[in-house]
């Protein structure tokens, strides 16, 4: 086993050899891509596209997560109960969630043409 005294940190993990391995891997990948334009497109546009897609997925996940939280205590809502039917115009499908601490009930519409989500505050007798 090879030990390098110059790049060994106090944690005992040898970061210098890890950086060398990453440099060798990066050089090997660059050597396989022959054209400069392809290298730029793969590096710039490809990584930029991956970043934008991952960022958009994070934003969508964050909005979906916030939709199912209590606006008062920010705990996740629990006990989902589906009400209504897909065939009914007057009683569209919705899911009701309740805050575990008794702050309120969220009625989340599942159909796009239905009314928006409705938050109902519960009185102190529910806590
Ligand atoms: Zn709450």
| Structural domain boundaries enclosing 93 | 68-126
Residues 93 and 81 sit within 8 Å (Cβ to Cβ) = no
Distance in Å, CA 123 to ligand 1 centroid: 12
What burial class does residue 77 get, using C-beta atoms within 10 Å of its C-beta: 0-12 exposed, 13-18 middle, 19+ buried? Answer: buried
CA of 64 to the centre of ligand 1 (A): 17
Res 115: pLDDT? 72
Question: How many distinct structural domains can be found in the chain?
Answer: 2
pLDDT in tens, 71-117: 999 999 999 999 988 888 788 888 999 999 999 999 988 877 667 88
Residues 4-15 have a mean pLDDT of 60
Sequence-distant (≥ 6) Cβ neighbours of residue 102 within 8 angstroms: 122, 126, 127
The answer to whether residue 40 sits within a structural domain is no
57 assigned to some structural domain: no
| pLDDT tens sequence across 25-60 | 878 877 787 788 887 777 788 888 999 999 999 999
Structural domain includes residue 37: no
Tokens matching residue 113: 């043409």
How far is ligand 1, taken at its centre, from the CA of residue 95, in Å? Answer: 17
8-state DSSP, 8: B
């Amino acid at each position: 086993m090879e030990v390098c005294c110059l790049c060994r940190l106090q944690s005992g993990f040898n970061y210098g050899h890890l950086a060398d391995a990453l440099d060798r891997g990066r050089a090997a990948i660059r050597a396989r891509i022959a054209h400069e334009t392809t290298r730029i497109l793969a590096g710039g546009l490809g990584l930029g596209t991956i970043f934008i897609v991952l960022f958009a997925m994070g934003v969508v996940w964050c909005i979906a997560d916030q939709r199912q939280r209590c606006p008062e205590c920010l705990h996740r809502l629990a006990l989902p109960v589906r009400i209504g039917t897909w065939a009914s115009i007057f009683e569209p499908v919705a899911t009701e969630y309740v805050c575990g601490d008794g702050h309120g009930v969220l009625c989340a519409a599942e159909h796009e043409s239905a009314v928006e989500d409705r938050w109902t505050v519960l009185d102190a007798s529910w806590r």
